Every structure is written in structure tokens, then in C-alpha cells.
Structure 1
């Protein structure tokens, strides 16, 4: 009976160790998910705040630039047209380099996510 008791005791220890491992792993993955969600929410919050303020600044800069250019060339409508064309040109350049932008974003986000 000594051998059976030893096997029983060893299997009980193995079961307890496995159960502890599963609980610890579950807690770790909960914390990892919380960390990733917190980082994502923080990133999106900063993006919304900074992006919104930057967008408002860009609007005011564009309008004031169009007014200044209008005074310079004597036609506010023509100045607005030039500013619009410049913005379309910048948009076109951004469109042509969009794949490079995607690669950079994926690279940065994968480093954050998989660390």
C-alpha cells in the first residue's frame, strides 16, 4: 500500500501545482488585457485631445493665411482658392505615402502590443 499512497500523494501535488499554474496564468492574462486596454484608451484619449486642438489650430491658421494672402494679392476669393489648392496638394501627397504611414503605425503598435 505504500506505493499506492506515494502515487496518490504525488498525483495530488501535481494536481495542486497545475491548479495553481492555471489560476496564476488566468490572473496574468487579466492584468495583461487590462494593461493593453488602458494603453489603448490612453492613446485614443490623447489622440482626441491633441488632434482636436491641432485641427482647430490648423483651421485658424488656414483662415488667417487666406485672409493675409487675400490682402497681399488683392482678392480674398483667389487667396482662398490658392489655400484650398495647397491643402489638396498636401492631401494628395499624404494619399501617395499612405502605405508608408500604415507600415509605421503597424510597426509602432505591434511593439506596444507584443511587449
Structure 2
């Protein structure tokens, strides 16, 4: 066996190993992309379902609270104004703590994405 044949055989083995590595890496990345897509779609679907039901219940609770406050005060529009003021206060508080909310969401999603 000559040096050239040995070098040629070694080069062929290296090429085979590199092709196998590339093929395995492609399969891994396809699985990783599939995992991320399914996790994202699952998260969005859960958010839509739970968020929709939560919003519906908040609307019913708000209307009930406004009616109860209005009857207790003897003036229905004041009850609705009080409930509206409560929602406005919550919105202002959420606006001022939006950076904390962003940070929480980013860390939660990054933990799942870079898992």
C-alpha cells in the first residue's frame, strides 16, 4: 500500500463522516424546528381559548358588579362609572409595569425556545 492509497482512503473516510454529520445535523434541526412550531402553536391556541373564556367571564362579572353597585347606590349610571374607573385604574397600573410583564414573557418563552 502506497502513501497515496492510504491518504486517499483516509480522505474517503473523512468525507463519509462529514456527510453523515451533516445529514444528522439536518435531521436534528428539522426536529428542533418542528418542536418549536408545535410549542408555539400550542401556546397560541391555549392563549386564545383561555384568554377568550377569561375575557367573557370578566365581562359578565363587570356587568354584574356594575348592576349591584348601581342598585346599592340607587343610581345605575354611577355603578357603571365606578366599574369603568376600576378598569381604568387597572389599565394604568398595567401600563406602568409593562416592562416587568415584558421581561416575564421573554424569560418564559426563551426558556422553552432554548431548551
The normalised TM-score by structure 1 is 0.98
Q: Distance in 1 between matches of 2:34 and 2:5?
A: 43
How many residue pairs align between the two structures?
115
Aligned to 1:13: 13
CA RMSD of aligned residues (A): 0.7
Please name the residue that 1:2 is paired with: 2
Residue 36 of structure 1: how far off its partner (Å) = 0.4
Give CA deviations for 1:38-70 in whole Å, capped at 9, x if unaligned. Answer: 000000000000000000000000001001111
Q: In the TM superposition, what is the alpha-carbon distance from 1:3 to its structure 2 partner? A: 1.3
Deviation of residue 2 (structure 1)?
1.7
CA deviations on 1:87-109 (whole Å, 9 max, x unpaired) are 00010000000001101111111
- Which structure 2 segments of 5+ residues have no match? none
Is 1:53 aligned to residue 50 of structure 2? no
TM-score by length of 2: 0.98
C-alpha separation in 2, matches of 1:55 and 1:64: 14
Partner of 2:37: 37
